[in-house]
Chains A and B, each alone.
Chain A
Amino acid sequence: MDIISNLAMGFSIALSPWTLMLAIIGCFVGTIIGALPGLGPSNGVALLIPISFSMGLDAISALVLLTSVYYGAMYGGRISSILLNIPGDEPAMMTCLDGYPMAKRGFASDALVISGVASFVGAFLATIGLMLLAPLLARVAFQFGPAEYFALYMLAFCTLGGIGSNNQAKAALAAALGLAIAMVGMDKTTGMPRFTFGELHLMDGVDFLVAIVGLFAVAEVFHFIETHGRDSAIGVKLGKITVNWAKMWSTRWAMLRGSGIGFLAGILPGAGASLGSFLAYMTEKSVSRDKATFGTGNPRGVAAPEAGNNAAAGGALIPMLTLGVPGSGTTAVLLALLLTLNITPGPLLFTERPEVVWGLIAALLIANVVLLLMNVPMVKVFVHILSVPSWILLPGVTMVAFVGIFSLTGSSFDMLLMVGFGVMGWVFRKLDIPTVPVILGILLGNSMEDNLRRAMVLSDGDWTYLFSSPISIGLWLAALLGFVAPIFLRAVLKKPALPATDDMSSD
């Protein structure tokens, strides 16, 4: 068996004491980041990339550390959803719907345990799915030429804009702005500067890490100041953590269904974990006989979205690793990580650097087990961290953002640029313009243009070449569908409102 021997190789890389220690630290830090309201997997990983890069970690160590943070943040998001009714990140929103009512009725411990186990089941199954599917897709991806890649990038932007936002025009605008920013710097083919306005710092282009940290982390700082940084007052009682096996067993099908749906949603480019947890919750509600109890503290309403959101996080790695096309904000940040480490995702990654792929997969499995151990018996530790007041937390996050960019580039110019992106992120949030397409545009812009130009070289300037193979026609049609269909489905896909908080814990 290919997979078994590959996996054994992966574990031989990832099981050294040093990487194990990194995995444990990453899981711990990740869970904290996920649990803190306002910080989620994308800004957490974004903050840590520059720092781990400046620490001079090698590729495998950095990957292990940061994917542990990523998975940890996916686990941690549920803690603030359940205890505070504040989702730590967007995918954790659905967990609020039944998690917070459960906690209010005195079952906080059950909700935390069930959601922790559901996270494990979802992430574990998705990692297995990743192992089975990714090599197959990598083989298909070998048939992709420049025209197909160009169509694939269009597909990613279209589905991300279609599914992920409320207004197609705004999402497309955001993506185009990202692409426009990516054009800044020296043109690789001709060696001529573009849009640098004589500024030497811009010759290398805008560093995508500067943009990511600015748009995700610094923008959050402005948002926090504006909303007076709600202090996290825990309004529910949390007794001793005990495991209610019977209740957990009753949610087994919800976990499995949620994992399956989440995994599929994760594979779709542009969909990601938010859609995964949403669909898992809605499906669970529609197949169960006691629909009325959903939203009032049904344990299956906690298990399904948590399994779905973590399974989607695993599934989203498939298009990212095999095609280099991330499906969501967090995978976009992970793509940024790979590019920083000089690892180019794509089909060649599987044949030329199998140790990276399988080391990563082994690291994911290890992180999962560590996280299950950390998040069920030790969940109280993280609950205490939730009570860090925002007037310490927020300046801290700001400083970490600056230190990261400063130690990476050492230039004041990049820090100013980061503040600029922060202001931009805040304005976009006000105007309801998504920022993830901007990031995706900056990340993919150069290779999108490169593929277009290579396709034109192959066809000697004939633009119909872009639509000449069955694969590319299929991708273009899917892109069109992904962009247009959500307009009609919007009424069906309406998100339910968060449960009301009756006390001082939110505004």
Chain B
Amino acid sequence: MAKDRIFGLFMIVLALGYILSATNIQTSFMSDPVGPRVFPYMVAAVVILCALVMVLKPDPDAEWPTLTMALKLAAATAILIGYAMTIRPLGFILPTIVVAGLLSYMINPRPVPAALSGIGLGIGLFVLFKVILGLGLQGLPRALMG
């Protein structure tokens, strides 16, 4: 089963949705001859054309990950999403230690080096960014800092 075909179909659906959304763009009285909708229509047409080529003439499949690897990648995505959500309320250091440690463990499943690299990166990068480069980072949870 060619993944190119699935992706092509998905892109066609997406482009149709894009066109639908573009028809709802409001124009104001001070518009130009082209207006804000034409260029999006053109772009979506190119997407549909190319996606059709992918559906009709797919390339041979690359090697896709096995189920375990797919779960691992999904877990990595979830970890990164969690990181994006927590870095603001919890400050930089704690989420970084946890996330860096987890990622490290995913690459090399030995708990002690993973924990050490998490702690090292969490504190080391904070010192580098906050103290040396002077970026505006919050180190610890806001609640603790008062």
Contact = CB atoms under 8 A, between A and B. Distances in A.
Interface string B78-98: 001101110110001000100
Main secondary structure of the interface of B (DSSP, over half): helix
Contacts of B129: 51, 403, 407
A452 B39 contact: yes
A392 B106 CA distance: 11
A391 B34 CA distance: 52
Interface in B19-60: 21-22, 25-28, 30-36, 39-40, 43-44, 46-47, 49-51, 53-54, 57, 59
B15 to A, nearest CB: 8
A226 B22 CA distance: 38
A229 interface: yes
A395 B99 contact: yes
A367 interface: no
Interface stretch (A217-225, A269-277, A373-381): A217-225
A176 interface: yes
Contact of A51 (B32, B121, B133): B133
Nearest to B4: A431
Given A176-B43, A403-B125, A412-B85, A192 B26 contact: yes
Contacts of A56: 134
A389 interface: yes
B131 interface: no
B69 interface: yes
Contacts of B107: 224-225, 228-229, 390-391, 394
A412 B87 contact: yes
A419 B43 contact: no
Nearest to B11: A173
A422 interface: yes
Nearest to A161: B50
Contacts of A193: 25
A132 interface: no
Nearest to B25: A194
Interface stretch (A164-172, A299-307, A320-328, A353-361): A164-172
Interface residues of B, number: 71
Interface stretch (A15-23, A108-116, A454-462): A454-462
A403 B137 contact: yes
A412 B33 contact: no
Contacts of B118: 395
B146 interface: no
A422 B79 CA distance: 13
Interface string A262-295: 0000000000000000000000000000000000
Contacts of B59: 166-167, 432
A239 interface: no
Nearest to B28: A190
Contact of B51 (A173, A175, A222): A173
Interface residues of A, number: 68
A169 to B, nearest CB: 4
A225 B106 contact: yes
Contacts of B114: 391
A180 B47 contact: yes
A431 B3 contact: yes
Contacts of B105: 391
B107 to A, nearest CB: 4
A452 B43 CA distance: 13
A460 B136 CA distance: 50
A453 interface: yes
A470 interface: no
A197 B72 CA distance: 32
B103 interface: yes
A1 interface: no
A231 to B, nearest CB: 8
B80 A398 contact: yes
Contacts of A456: 32-34
Interface in A395-421: 395-396, 398-400, 402-403, 406-407, 410, 412, 415-416, 418-419
Given A190-B31, A192-B26, A194-B40, A395 B51 contact: no
Given A51-B135, A407-B137, A391 B80 contact: no
A449 interface: yes
A430 B72 CA distance: 16
A180 B48 CA distance: 12
A55 B28 contact: no
B125 A399 contact: yes
A210 B82 CA distance: 17
Given A452-B39, A456-B34, A395 B104 contact: yes
12 contacts: A54-B135, A54-B136, A190-B30, A221-B103, A225-B76, A225-B106, A392-B121, A395-B103, A403-B129, A412-B85, A432-B62, A460-B33
Given A54-B136, A189-B32, A403-B137, 18 more contacts: A173-B47, A173-B51, A180-B44, A183-B40, A190-B28, A195-B18, A195-B40, A197-B21, A392-B117, A394-B103, A396-B121, A398-B80, A402-B84, A412-B88, A415-B84, A419-B84, A431-B62, A453-B34
